[in-house]
Structure 1
Amino acid sequence: MDFDLLFVIGVTMAAFSIPAFMSAFSDRRGPKMALFMLIAGAGAAYYAMSQNPAAYSVATFDDVFVSVVAKYLN
Structure 2
Amino acid sequence: MTPDQFLVLGLCLAVIAVPAIISAWSDRRAPRVGSVVLLAGLALVLHAIVNKPGGYELAALPGVLFGVIGDLIR
Same-fold status (TM-score > 0.5): yes
Aligned equivalents of 1:55 and 1:63: distance in 2?
A: 14
State the identity %: 31
The normalised TM-score by structure 1 is 0.93
Please name the residue that 2:7 is paired with. 7
- 2:59 is matched with 59
RMSD: 1.0
Q: Which structure 1 segments of 5+ residues have no match?
A: none
Please give the alpha-carbon distance, in whole angstroms, between the structure 1 residues aligned to 2:57 and 2:72.
Answer: 22
- Give the CA deviation at 1:53: 4.5
If each structure's helix is expressed as a fraction of its own residues, which one has the higher value?
2
Runs of 4+ in structure 1 displaced over 2 angstroms?
A: none
Q: CA deviation at 1:54?
A: 2.2
Aligned length: 74
Structure 2 counterpart of 1:37, one-letter code: V
Structure 2 partner of 1:68: 68
Q: Runs of 5+ in structure 2 lacking a partner? A: none
